[in-house]
Amino acid sequence: MPNVVVVGTQWGDEGKGRVVDLIAEKVDLVVRYQGGNNAGHTIVTNGKSIVLHHLPSGILRDDKVSLIGNGVVIDPKILLEEIEALKKSGYSVSPDNLIISDKVHVIMPYHKMIDISRENLAGNNKIGTTGRGIGPVYEDKYGRRGIKLSDLVNPDTFSKRLKTVLNERNLYLTKVLGSGPVDFDEVYNEYTQYGKELKPYMGDVSKILFDSINSDKDILFEGAQGTLLDIDFGTYPYVTSSNAGSGGVCVGTGVAPKSIDYVVGVTKAYTTRVGEGPFPSEETGEIEQRLREEGGEYGATTGRSRRCGWLDVVALKYAIRVNGISAFALTKLDVLSGFDTVKICTAYKCNGSLINEFPGSTEVLENCKPVYEEMDGWSEELTDIKDFDELPENAKKFILRVEELTGVPTWLVSIGPSREMYFELRELYS
């Protein structure tokens, strides 16, 4: 059976959690491979909305094993709170169904302080981060001064590493950023306790996945953020600090490329973005307002208003290329009900020329204006629809046009936030 990656094809919040929750039913293991609690993945089941920041979206299904791969960064306090909150809501979370790689890097208090101070200092040039310490923790990982979960559970190693790191980080915090310092004892004691609580969950994720693949188990790799926020392929520097695209799976979990069979691209029927950075098909005024209100476009992590605009096929084709998208999960089609016309951005006008390729340079993208195809809209609500044939004609045309423009088939159409509000156009993996 295939192993599948679920990635966001836009700037995040495409509905990955909702789609992962659906596919999770068909697989044995669900694995996060990058990002941290900058992610907010929403699943609505039995009228209750659950937002997961750290835990894979398979955790809501009792018979699945959830894993957090080495490419993820964890804020142990938030992770432990998330585990407790789920248990209180009646979900089972234990070392039997949750395994966290011993190699994950730990978000420390100074990472959050650095993230927030830098954003404040940058003023108009800020990235608009979630303030969760994501950039600084990955920076320390690649700068070889990070603290891993395996360090937290080893008091001597943790003490040595923290002392060395704090010597330098406290200088940076106090002399450069004008905040801190961070007290060694306080952090050491608090994080040693977190280490104790997380130790039972710690494991060798790569080995578990290897063994699972060899015994024909099915694996779902859950992306966080979106392709256009990927550190390498996103709209740098307005990106996150990890490889959100499907390429992140191997390095973020320790599986071989040959083990990945299928890539689902979760694509919102329009586009949103949180934080700063270019967004060619962004709308302002009434249309943005309407998309935001109808789509509930407020951040699942920070509560910030999401910027909204029309579907951008130039960016989508780029996401298809860099991820190897096999099929779409098209989400939030219901939100487009009631617009007289709906638009699809099919090219950009940039410094007088027409371009069809997503530009590599963010400065070029900043000067791109969208070229639209405008289609007639539909007024019917879609939420109860169970089959493609039941859709209003213009909604059908919208889906078919996206497939035609991109050459990628649609597997699933989501027409509401609840688990059951979707229909399939074809079988997954077909």
52 or 391, CB closer to ligand IMO? 52
Q: What is the rounded distance in angstroms from the CA atom of residue 170 to the CA atom of residue 19?
A: 42
Q: What is the rounded distance in angstroms from the CA atom of residue 273 to the CA atom of residue 311?
A: 12
Per-residue DSSP letter, 58: G
Contacts of 244 (CB under 8 A, 6+ apart): 7, 8, 12, 34, 35, 223, 224, 225, 226, 227, 229, 230, 231, 234
Exposed/middle/buried for 393, CB within 10 Å: 0-12, 13-18, 19+? exposed
What are the residues binding ligand IMO (CB under 6 A)? 8, 12-13, 38-41, 127-130, 132, 134-135, 224-226, 229, 240-241, 274-275, 300
Q: Which does 129 bind (CB under 5 to 8 A by kind): ligand GDP, Mg ion, ligand IMO, none?
A: ligand IMO
Q: Shortest Cβ distance from residue 294 to ligand GDP (Å)?
A: 8
Residue 40 binds Mg ion, judged by CB under 5 A: yes
Q: Which does 296 bind (CB under 5 to 8 A by kind): ligand IMO, Mg ion, ligand GDP, none?
A: ligand GDP
Per-residue DSSP letter, 249: H
11 or 348, CB closer to Mg ion? 11
Residue 16 binds ligand GDP, judged by CB under 6 A: yes
Write each residue from 309 to 348 as x if it is in contact with ligand GDP (CB under 6 A), else as -, in one continuous string.
Answer: ----------------------xx-xx-------------
| Number of residues written out for the chain | 430
Q: Which residues are paired to 67 by β-bridges?
A: 31, 99
In terms of Cα–Cα distance, which of 241, 72, 38 is closest to 148? 72
Residue in the shown chain whose Cβ atom is closest to ligand IMO: 275
Q: What is the dihedral of CA 343, 347, 352, 358, to 10 degrees?
A: 130
Please tell me whether the peptide bond between 280 and the residue prior to it is cis, using omega within 30 degrees of 0: no
Which candidate in 13, 75, 312, 334 is catalytic?
13
41 is catalytic: yes
43 or 166, CB closer to ligand GDP? 43
> Which of 4, 7, 8, 13 forms a contact with Mg ion (CB under 5 A)?
13
Q: What is the rounded distance in angstroms from the CA atom of residue 268 to the CA atom of residue 136?
A: 30
> Which of 11, 17, 134, 283 forms a contact with ligand GDP (CB under 6 A)?
17
Residue 295 binds Mg ion, judged by CB under 5 A: no
Tell me which residues in 30-49 interact with ligand GDP (CB under 6 A): 40-42, 44
Residues designated catalytic: 13, 41
Task: List interacting residues with Mg ion (CB under 5 A).
Answer: 13, 40, 300
Task: List interacting residues with ligand GDP (CB under 6 A).
Answer: 8, 12-18, 40-42, 44, 296, 300, 331-332, 334-335, 414-417
